[in-house]
Structure 1
Amino acid sequence: MQTAPLPHNEEQRLARLRGLGVLDSLPQKAFDDISALAQVICGTPVALITLVDRDRQWFKSRVGVDVCETPREMSFCTHAILNPEQVMVVEDMSQDARFRQNPLVQGTTNVRFYAGAPIVTSDGFALGTVCVVDQMVRQLHSVQLTALSRLSGLVATLLENERARQIEAARKARAVKQEHEELTAMAAAGLDLQAYIDTDGVYRHINQTYLNYIGCSREEIIGITVKQRLGEAAYALVGSKLDRAMAGETVIYQRVSDFKVAGSRHMEIALLPVRDEDGGITGVVMRGRDIQELKNKERLLGDTILQLERKTLEQERFIHIMSHDLREPINSINNFSSLLEADHGERLPPEARRYLGFVSAGGQRMASLLDGLLRYVRLDRHALDSGPVDVNLLVEQVRDDLSAAITQAGGQLDMATLPTVQADASLLRIALQNLVANGIAFAQPGVPPRVRVSATREHGFDQIHVEDNGIGIAPEHQASIFDLLKRLHSRKTHAGSGLGLSICRRIAALHGGHLSVQSTPGEGSRFTLHLPVPHGTPS
């Protein structure tokens, strides 16, 4: 891992950064909106507004990560701020000598893509970046890069304007410290319960929502200590958390509180340190969010899960009925119709033999349909046994399975050199067998069927292509061919249950992928299984 060199103006840059008073400040909607915009514009799971301090990289806003900061030596943004004039883009960090050994690239976070637009002040100091991160190798087009750069410029403007506003507010409020503390507490706007507690543990501000819950007047609360209001027993549960917040730590926890008016409510409590312009702790903002309805919904979700489990048991009984109770009469029809034709077929009149043929064919179709339905419903019960699968070997096995059908049709199965993919071998074999069998079955009249299996890797997916020279599929039917029991041809021209493609699509979905088709009537079709490439696999 290559540690970024320090900027030539590092000490002045740090002084400028700390002079803004933004480090370790409370979340602000404007900055959160900017990081959310960066995520949407660039289409990445992670977007950050970072500020590079002496020994750390601190996140003013974050989307997609839980931590508030990382060590500076692991930071990608320390490299980005070395060139304040342009957006730094690394499409594959595992291939960049600066980052390939970085724990964020090598570790469980598995970072692959990074783009960071430096946040540059009006006097030319690069303080950090607006950056986006992904676990997949990717590219950004020029419009996205321009948007990222403009967002970083907006952050710089907000930081400087915010600092100017803070200085002006401090100048006006310096003579009245009480008012300044109340304004600080009011920074956490909304319907949450809010209070400002000074370093002596005394309530200095409390909002109306809090008063409505506890059923007290403002005069009854302002000026007393937290311990006096809660009592010894309740304070024993929260006192240590308040001490941690007074020491500078943001503390978030949940508890069930009994309020005089609101009753018993499940609350999420945040204790947020408040700092003066020099960074010293002046008190703590207590923000209480009522999450009782959320907990009620969680219980409702638990009830729904129990219902789903009961439905799973019903499905098990349904599968048992299909595999035993339905199969027995179907087997009887097929067995006795075969015996009837073998023992008495020659003595039956032509009309009776014709009717017997209908019975025999119908019984075979019912057995085939039952087998297909069982395969389909059992897919949901199949525990995916994913591992490296040699597709060359799998296609050879499919060739053996379908050798009789290929020979009878005068067809041919070709394959390119195929990769090893991450999949469930048994399910992938079923999918390939269905796709190849379709390519053999849906041949053009008078044209020997030819099926070719090949593979590519694009956009984080291994793509296995099964291409034929058959009759093809009209464009208006291509969206519906994967539907359960969907048939485009009569049984007189093409046999089948209409389940094969539904099973293939379900198998692809179980792997986290999908199945697509490209087809031209009269020229053939190409079905593609898209299987996700494991994280960390080179493109």
Structure 2
Amino acid sequence: MKTPEIPLNENFRLKALKEYSILDTLPEKEYDDITQLASQICGTSISTISLIDERRQWFKSKIGLEVDETIKEVSFCGHAIMEPDKIFTVKDSRLDKRFQNNPLVVGEPHVIFYTGVPLVSPEGFALGTLCVIDDQPKELNQKQLMALKALSNQVVSLFELRKSKMMLERLTNDLENRNKELEKFARVAAHDIKSPLNNISSLTEILLHQYSAELDDDGKMMMQMLDTSSQTLRELVDGILEHSKSDFILTENRRIFNLNKLVQQCIELLDNRKEYLFIIDFDESLIAVNKVALQQILLNLMSNAIKYNDKAQVQIKIDFAEDTNFYKFKIQDNGLGIDEKYQSKIFDIFEVVSNEDRFGKKGTGIGLSTVKKLVEGLGGTIVVNSVVGESTTIEFSIAKQDFL
């Protein structure tokens, strides 16, 4: 008996094998189907997917065999991997000096016939074999060999798919961890920035209240500018934080809920004094979407419809419809309107197209960018149509998916 030689590239070959993290894994149907098919095509009682590591041949899948592994020194597959580009065949091991007295030949499972096709990684490393075995002398025809080769390619494809899935899972975990770290950093940074801003606002308010008589008009104006600037910067920090959290919001699970109740909740948050006219132009509707993301979108758009409105009576109409693939929303106001030359820019981050809103404040240019990010993350689109001085209509959609 002759023991298998060690490939010249053994260290690299073993590294490539271990990158698949497949050794000692549980049986899987995809692999068992291949060994079953190989055995039937070749008319053999045994078929295996064998992988060779430092000390053994381990069977990822096996048909007609009881053991899970054998030592490398007695393996036929150890010989087969020495020539990755060739099919290794032993028609009758009893007549082959390399396998005479081999325990697998003289004892169970009595390997008399063996054909193994090396499982070769894309880098050219033979990881093991797809092999067929019988206890009688045998020879495969050309069609059987071609079929066996095709099946071996499928095994390698499954290996590659496994590796890609593991890489994707690692990348996903890394991204989630980085997002968590980034969110934590953003919260800490926001707190550290807002704390001194709050102190500035508080001190400004005290100075204006207690020392107003000692300040001339220019001094009072500068103090007011200081307070306004501090408040604007706080709002900018809050907006950036909300924008950074939008990816996290999209990971929330979808749920079934009453859309009318959600819209009413948004109205109550925005108009607790009942100052504005909201028109809900659709019947009671149950929908299945990411509720947190939709609420964020509606609050932002409805808030803008209030803020950028110069009419004595603010009027906001909310419409909803659906088709086979999408939920469709429409929010129309009777406000300032947006010049056509700016309509393509309003969803760009930090893009501000209005000097001041209804309350004399200037926007940050973050809210609508966040809305667009959420809508597109939910598989939809968003568009704006507006007439200056009359109205603005924003329509957006959310893709329907099977509710799990």
TM-score range, shorter chain: 0.5 to 0.7
Q: 1:255 to 1:446 in 2, by over 3 A?
A: same
The aligned counterpart of 1:483 is 348
Which secondary structure does the structure 2 equivalent of 1:463 belong to? Answer: strand
| 1:408-419 correspondence runs (5 A) | 411-418=276-283, 419=285
The aligned counterpart of 2:224 is 357
Q: 1:222 to 1:369 in 2, by over 3 A?
A: same
Q: 1:461 to 1:262 in 2, by over 3 A?
A: closer
| 1:157-306 correspondence runs (5 A) | 198-199=42-43, 214-215=82-83, 221=89, 223=91, 263-265=125-127, 283=144, 285-287=147-149, 288-289=152-153, 290=156, 301=168, 304-305=171-172
The aligned counterpart of 1:468 is 333
| 1:48-59 correspondence runs (5 A) | none
Are 1:520 and 2:364 counterparts? no
Are the counterparts in 1 of residues 375 and 397 from structure 2 also a CA contact under 8 Å? yes
The aligned counterpart of 1:183 is none
Tell me the CA shift for residue 198 of structure 1. Answer: 4.5
Q: 1:406 to 1:364 in 2, by over 3 A?
A: farther
Are the counterparts in 2 of residues 391 and 421 from structure 1 also a CA contact under 8 Å? yes
Tell me the CA shift for residue 310 of structure 1. Answer: 4.6
Tell me the CA shift for residue 362 of structure 1. Answer: 0.8
Are the counterparts in 2 of residues 385 and 424 from structure 1 also a CA contact under 8 Å? yes
Are 1:325 and 2:187 counterparts? no
Determine the C-alpha separation between the residues in 1 that align with 2:363 and 2:259.
26
Are the counterparts in 1 of residues 259 and 286 from structure 2 also a CA contact under 8 Å? yes
* Code of the aligned partner of 2:255: G
The aligned counterpart of 2:375 is 508
Q: 1:216 to 1:297 in 2, by over 3 A?
A: closer
Task: Give CA-to-partner distance per residue, 1:144-180, whole Å, 9 cap, x none.
Answer: xxxxxxxxxxxxxxxxxxxxxxxxxxxxxxxxxxxxx
Tell me the CA shift for residue 352 of structure 1. Answer: 0.8
Are the counterparts in 2 of residues 389 and 424 from structure 1 also a CA contact under 8 Å? no
Q: 1:461 to 1:296 in 2, by over 3 A?
A: closer
* Code of the aligned partner of 2:194: R
Identify the match of residue 438 of structure 1 among 283, 301, 304. 304
Are the counterparts in 1 of residues 345 and 351 from structure 2 also a CA contact under 8 Å? yes
Are 1:403 and 2:271 counterparts? yes
The aligned counterpart of 1:429 is 295
Which secondary structure does the structure 1 equivalent of 2:354 belong to? Answer: coil
Determine the C-alpha separation between the residues in 2 that align with 1:331 and 1:421.
41
The aligned counterpart of 1:390 is 258
The aligned counterpart of 1:81 is none
* Code of the aligned partner of 1:353: K
Determine the C-alpha separation between the residues in 2 that align with 1:530 and 1:337.
45
Are 1:378 and 2:245 counterparts? yes
Tell me the CA shift for residue 368 of structure 1. Answer: 1.4
Which secondary structure does the structure 1 equivalent of 2:211 belong to? Answer: helix
Determine the C-alpha separation between the residues in 2 that align with 1:283 and 1:381.
53
Identify the match of residue 399 of structure 2 among 511, 519, 532. 532
Task: Tell me the TM-score normalised to structure 1 length.
Answer: 0.47
Q: 1:255 to 1:369 in 2, by over 3 A?
A: farther
Task: Tell me the TM-score normalised to structure 2 length.
Answer: 0.60
Determine the C-alpha separation between the residues in 2 that align with 1:406 and 1:412.
8
Are the counterparts in 2 of residues 421 and 533 from structure 1 also a CA contact under 8 Å? no
Are the counterparts in 2 of residues 256 and 265 from structure 1 also a CA contact under 8 Å? yes
| 1:45-194 correspondence runs (5 A) | none
Identify the match of residue 210 of structure 2 among 325, 343, 346. 343
Q: 1:212 to 1:381 in 2, by over 3 A?
A: same
Are the counterparts in 1 of residues 350 and 364 from structure 2 also a CA contact under 8 Å? yes
Q: 1:390 to 1:536 in 2, by over 3 A?
A: closer
Determine the C-alpha separation between the residues in 2 that align with 1:319 and 1:469.
36
Determine the C-alpha separation between the residues in 1 that align with 2:89 and 2:329.
69
Determine the C-alpha separation between the residues in 1 that align with 2:195 and 2:266.
30
Determine the C-alpha separation between the residues in 1 that align with 2:194 and 2:85.
75
Determine the C-alpha separation between the residues in 2 that align with 1:534 and 1:298.
23
Which secondary structure does the structure 1 equivalent of 2:197 belong to? Answer: helix
The aligned counterpart of 2:33 is none
Which secondary structure does the structure 2 equivalent of 1:514 belong to? Answer: coil
Are the counterparts in 2 of residues 449 and 470 from structure 1 also a CA contact under 8 Å? yes
In percent, how many aligned pairs have the same letter? 17
Tell me the CA shift for residue 286 of structure 1. Answer: 0.7
Tell me the CA shift for residue 494 of structure 1. Answer: 5.7
> How many equivalent residue pairs?
307
Determine the C-alpha separation between the residues in 2 that align with 1:405 and 1:482.
30
* Code of the aligned partner of 2:354: H
Structure 1 residue runs without a partner (length 5+): 1-65, 68-193, 203-210, 243-253, 272-281
The aligned counterpart of 1:453 is 318
The aligned counterpart of 1:98 is none
Task: Give CA-to-partner distance per residue, 1:99-128, whole Å, 9 cap, x none.
Answer: xxxxxxxxxxxxxxxxxxxxxxxxxxxxxx
Q: 1:389 to 1:506 in 2, by over 3 A?
A: farther
* Code of the aligned partner of 1:286: L
Which secondary structure does the structure 1 equivalent of 2:148 belong to? Answer: strand
Are the counterparts in 1 of residues 380 and 396 from structure 2 also a CA contact under 8 Å? yes
Determine the C-alpha separation between the residues in 2 that align with 1:264 and 1:355.
77
Determine the C-alpha separation between the residues in 1 that align with 2:403 and 2:110.
46
Structure 2 residue runs without a partner (length 5+): 1-28, 31-37, 47-78, 133-142
Q: 1:397 to 1:262 in 2, by over 3 A?
A: closer
